[in-house]
Structures are given as C-alpha cells and as structure tokens.
Amino acid sequence: MIIGIPREIKAEENRVCMTPAGVEVMVKNGHEVLVEKSAGAGSGFTDDAYTRSGAKIVDTPKQIYAGADMVMHVKEPLPPEYDLIREGQIVFTYLHLAADEPQTRALIKSKAVCIAYETIQKADGSLPLLTPMSEVAGRMAIQEGAKFLEMAQGGRGILLGGVPGVEPATVVVIGGGVVGFNAAKMACGLGAKVYLLDMNLDRLRYLSDVMPANCFTLMSSPATIRTLVKKADVVIGAVLIPGAKAPRLVTRDMLKTMKKGSVLVDVAIDQGGCFETSKATTHGDPTFVIDGVVHYCVANMPGAVAKTSTLALTNATLPYALQIANQGWKGAMQANEEIKLGANVINGKVTYKAVAEAFGLVYTPVGKLLN
C-alpha cells in the first residue's frame, strides 16, 4: 500500500501523524510512504530523517492525495483538502464528525473510507487513540498550573511543592480518569497536597490503591467541590461524561470564594469546560482572569508539546495503521473489532451511529459493507 503523510494545516498544529521510525516500520513491511515537504518540521523531524527511513518527499498535499492509498493525518481534513480526497481512498485520522456537519457531508461525497482515531475502541470501552493525548494534557495541566502560580504570570507566588519548613500548594483535581490520574500523579510527584475527585466509587478505590500518600481521593459532589475550591491553589477540570457537554462544576459563586491568584486549568474545555466562567483560549493567549482567579482553558493542550505528543500519538496509531496497510481496510476490520469501530463514513455511507444521528442521516452498519 502507498501511505501518504501530509503536513498539518490546522492553526497551531505542530504534530505530524507518523515519525521517521514509523515510516521505517511501514517500509520494512513492504509499503511505500509519501511525506509532504516539512511535514515533520513542527515536531523536530527533518525531511532528511524521513528520506533515510525510506520515505519519498513530495512538494504538495495534492501529490499526497493523488498518490496514496491511505492518507493519515493528525487533525481532520480541512475544506481545501475535501476535493483532493479520492473515491476508495482510506483516510485515517481524528475526525470528530458528530460536531462537524460540513466535513461529514464532504466525506460522504468523497466516497472514501474514513476511519476515525477517536472511535477506535477496545473491548473494555477504552479509547486507545485518545488516551495518549489525555495523558499529555493531564501531565501538562500541572506544569501550566505551576507556571501560572508564579507572580509574574498573575499567580499567588506559590511553589507547588513548597520547601522544607514551608507548606506545599493544594491541588484539587476534579475527575479521576486518564487526564485526572496523570495530573494528580504529576502534582503528587512535585510534592503538592492533592485532592482527587471522581463520581465512580470503583475508580476511587483503584486510585486510592495506586496513588501516593499525598493524594486524597474523594467522592465528587457540589458540597465537596464548594469546600475544596476555597483552599485550592490550583484546580484542574478533568471530567468527561461520554457524549455530553461537560457539567459546570465550579460555579461563579464558588469562584468568588477562591484565593486571589489561584489557578484554574480547565482541560475539559474541549467539551465546553467544567467551570462556569471558562471560555476556550489559545496557546498564544492562554489565560484570562475573573474575580482574581487565573483561568487556563486551552482546547488543544498537546499541541504545545508537539514532539512528545507526536511520539505518544504515533506509538498508539502505528499498530492500527500497519494492520490496515497489511490487510486492507476490509481485512483489518474483519480481523480487528477495534478498527471496525473506527469506521465512520465508507463509500458514501455513514457507518457510525452517533454521526448519523447527529445530522439525521441514514446509518449503515459497517458489517454490511465488509463482504
């Protein structure tokens, strides 16, 4: 199979969907890889590194779409790319179609085979191609919280871990899933006093087992959140209710009771945010202040650490991409239920129920297209 790696064109996106090491694996398996000039530059991978791994460098996205059997990406295809996608071509990337009708209609029109990273799902319900980005965002949330606690950044001037003889900061993490676990782990490692909240008692039991002694697990409730935010130096929003907007857990009234110069990091901002006062910000202008509380609400946090994020993402995507390349999309979906769940739009038909429902389109189970 010929695999195409275009340069990302979405604003502030520095990741690339395959590293030179991934290209080498593809080539060793008998595939050809076309890489658009400078596709890896934002993540620190040169065209030379790709060439040494066996890729062919091409100048334009047009050449990628014209030549490849499978085009991979990080972000969804954007309007300038819609007409380049060919019938029967595999498009393998984050699509997030249920929130994007124009793209859904463009992919239906293309008659391509569109497989979404975010709906590939393991038997235990976990989402293996979303997990690495949640790990990055969770760990980064503490880094950002620590930075914006500094006085020059508008913060209270508190060192997260304290020093001998001086109390550490108090960090409240709301949501103990992948983001929350990783955030709490980082905060604990730095020596902060950490409260980790979730609604799921089994999850709290697990977290209580594995987290260090400076992490206190608590059942999440409005009353607990109201009490904790008063003493917090940093609050991390890390909740997710699948398929729904994030609940507004820290209200404007609670904000008024918080310490001036404390920091809210709303990682759940991509689902609308879990603080009433959150609104999405960018890496260029990441924070704003309300009632003296610094808000950090960047919707694509992993983009700021593009190299780590690229490596983490490609570690997770490569085995799936390789299986699709080796067996073809039908063979891969017949052999691997996880990849089958990634099927969103195939040959003009919507094969993912939530996407069909979002826009009142006909849903066709992918099984019907596999013979």
197 binds ligand NAD (CB under 6 A): yes
Alpha-carbon distance 226 to 197, whole Å? 12
Whichever of 133 and 293 has its CB closer to ligand NAD, that residue is 133
46 CA to centre of own chain:
24
134 binds ligand NAD (CB under 6 A): yes
For ligand NAD, which residue has the nearest CB? 177
The tokens describing 69, both together, are 């059997």
Place of tokens 């620190």: 44
| 174, 234, 258, 333: residue in contact with ligand NAD (rule CB under 6 A) | 174
To the query of whether residue 285 is one of the catalytic residues in this protein, the response is no
Q: Name the segment binding ligand NAD (CB under 6 A); options: 81-89, 111-119, 132-140, 162-170.
A: 132-140
Least Å distance, CB 303 to ligand NAD, is: 8
Q: Which stretch binds ligand NAD (CB under 6 A): 52-60, 88-96, 194-202, 352-360?
A: 194-202
Select the span of 12-20, 55-63, 265-273, 361-369 touching ligand NAD (CB under 6 A). 265-273
DSSP 258: S
Stretch that binds ligand NAD, among 25-33, 109-117, 242-250, 356-364 (CB under 6 A): 242-250
Among 5, 149, 172, 239, binds ligand NAD (CB under 6 A): 239
Q: Which of 198, 266, 270, 295 is catalytic?
A: 270
Tell me if 215 contacts ligand NAD by CB under 6 A.
Answer: no
Binding string, 92-131, against ligand NAD, x = CB under 6 A? ----------------------------------------
Mode of pairing for the β-strands spanning 343-346 and 349-350: antiparallel
What 3-state class would DSSP assign to 172?
strand
Residue 49: CB partners within 8 Å, gap ≥ 6?
Answer: 20, 40
Indicate the residue among 40 and 302 with the shorter CB distance to ligand NAD: 302
Residue 245: CB atoms within 10 Å: 11
Taking CB under 6 A as the criterion, the residue among 232, 240, 258, 321 binding ligand NAD is 240
For the CA atoms of 310, 316, 317, 319, the dihedral, rounded to the nearest 10 degrees, stands at 130
In the structure encoding, which two tokens stand for residue 105, read together? 């209609």
Contact status: 287 vs ligand NAD (CB under 6 A):
no
Nearer Cβ to ligand NAD, position 82 or 288?
A: 288
Q: Exposed, middle or buried by CB within 10 Å (0-12, 13-18, 19+), for 57?
A: middle
CA torsion sign for 196, 202, 208, 210 is negative
For the question of residue 270 being annotated catalytic, the response is yes
Question: Beta partners for 36?
Answer: 58
Catalytic residue among 31, 73, 96, 295: 96
Q: Between β-strands 193-198 and 170-174, what pairing exists: parallel, antiparallel or unpaired?
A: parallel
- Angstrom distance (rounded) from CA 143 to CA 31: 40
Residues whose CB is less than 8 angstroms from the CB of residue 260 and which lie 6 or more positions away in sequence, other chains included: 156, 292, 293
Residues noted as catalytic:
96, 270
By the criterion CB under 6 A, which residues form the site for ligand NAD?
Answer: 133-134, 137, 174-180, 197-200, 203, 220, 238-241, 246-247, 249, 267-271, 299-302
